[in-house]
Amino acid sequence: MPTFRAPRGTRDLLPLERAAFIRLERIGAELANRYGYRPIETPLFEQVGVFERGVGAVTDIVEKELFRLAPRTEDGETWALRPEPTAGIVRAYVQHGMQTLPQPVKLTMTGPMFRYDRPQAGRYREFWQFDIEAIGDPGPAIDAEVIELATRFYREAGVVDPEINLNSIGDAACRPAYIAELAEFYRGQIDRLPALERDRLERSPLRLLDSKDAVMVELNATAPAITDRLCDACAEHFAGVRAHLDALGVGYRLDPHLVRGLDYYTRTAFEIYPRGVAGQQSALGGGGRYDGLVELLGGKPTPGIGFGLGLDRILLALEAQGTPPVSEPGYAAVVVGADPAGTADRLKIATMLRAAGLVARAELGQRKLGKQLESAAKERAHFALIVGDELRDGQVQLKDLEAGTQKLVAVDDLVRELERAQASHHHGSGR
């Protein structure tokens, strides 16, 4: 018999880890709603051109990570699994005429993304992101709102004191001159450049600042900084972003070589790291402004800003700081029985509790009572409801598994008794 496994670079989210993801998804959804961002869902795959035009052909995502599909289509359309959420959301914004809506259009999505490159520690081929996009506002106040929302998400998730790295990467008015200067700098160091970066130098010099190669990291520390070469409009915008963050009390560290890895970014760019941890591989998430992306994908020139925060990375950060991401859930009650064959009575009582909103399990096997109680205790149930002869009089035994106390309770009073115990944060009333 063959031994089947999850595909390389993917993994199964077992119940406890999936519960941790659901917790993060709920935090993100609640925050997004509080800030006025509305949910959107886009397909898991798009036309390849959405990513090649929007993300950029000379990027890690398209060069190495794009998970291309080979569909059997009559028109020869080529598809790829989404490597990031922004391009697909902007495509939907253009396709559905959202420019006619009150601006900015504020959208949110949480879901799986895909990359095909070789898996690394903490980097899977299938990974999850919480995404926020605000399309139609040139900022800088909206930039500060988005960044503050990101920091609040990390705090509510339990990440201790995350650090924001912040930069402006200019726009079409000032970036070309900077790119020319940057290219000249790298040509002066051509003998030190790895083969991949030499190839990129002639196609997209800015990408070299995003390189993770150790030689490039050292070289980039002495590269020209774009923040010293911003045009007046970009410098004013960046000053406005910082002023709004200061007003909100959001701390940040200026990083003049932060460019992010996607071609669509303009002006504001930011990344979030665990406190005291540096390096692109350690980033928990990031985002920035993409004022040219809507036009690239067929719409009218429209500003936008957003972020994508990796849920996988957050769980790793929580583990590293010793914070359990989620506790094992327990049952409010497990319904057991003195008669192993009395499964119908046990199931009926459990169904009644569930209908009232309580978490309950019925023992549907035909084990002895001792084994049933042992199993309930291992599952961290608050109570065991023991169905016995008393059921003829409309009663069951309510056993507090933590306190070890036990008493008779009318079946009709069970819901009220369990709800009262949960509300008072203790188990049972027979103490």
Contacts of 399 by beta carbon, 8 Å cutoff, 6+ apart: 373, 383, 384, 385, 386, 405, 406, 428
**330 — pLDDT class (breaks 50, 70, 90):** confident
pTM for this model (two decimals):
0.84
Angstrom distance (rounded) from CA 309 to CA 255: 19
Condensed to tens digits (0 to 9), the pLDDT of residues 117-167 reads 776 666 788 999 999 999 999 989 999 999 999 999 999 999 988 899 999
> Structure tokens of 160?
């201790």
Condensed to tens digits (0 to 9), the pLDDT of residues 383-430 reads 999 999 999 999 999 998 888 888 999 999 999 988 887 776 544 443
> Structure tokens of 184?
């000249």
Nearest to 73 by CA among 42, 41, 48: 48
pLDDT at 306: 96
Domain ranges of the chain: 15-174+230-320, 333-423
What class, spelled out in words, does domain 15-174+230-320 have in CATH? alpha beta
Condensed to tens digits (0 to 9), the pLDDT of residues 203-251 reads 788 878 877 788 888 888 888 888 888 999 999 999 999 999 999 999 9
Q: 104 preceded by cis ω (within 30°)?
A: yes
Nearest to 21 by CA among 91, 122, 110: 110
- The helix-helix angle for 311-320 and 141-157 (nearest 10°) equals 50
User: For residue 27, what is the enclosing H or E element?
Assistant: helix 15-34
Average pLDDT over residues 10-25: 91
What distances in angstroms separate CA 266 from CA 290, 303, 310, one per listed residue?
A: 5, 10, 22
What class, spelled out in words, does domain 333-423 have in CATH? alpha beta
Specify the higher pLDDT residue, 209 or 431. Answer: 209
Angstrom distance (rounded) from CA 213 to CA 202: 18
- Intra-chain end-to-end CA distance of the chain, in Å: 56
Angstrom distance (rounded) from CA 148 to CA 255: 18
Condensed to tens digits (0 to 9), the pLDDT of residues 29-57 reads 999 999 999 999 999 999 888 888 755 54
Angstrom distance (rounded) from CA 263 to CA 16: 37
Percent of the chain with pLDDT over 70: 90
pLDDT at 121: 61
> Structure tokens of 22?
């659901």
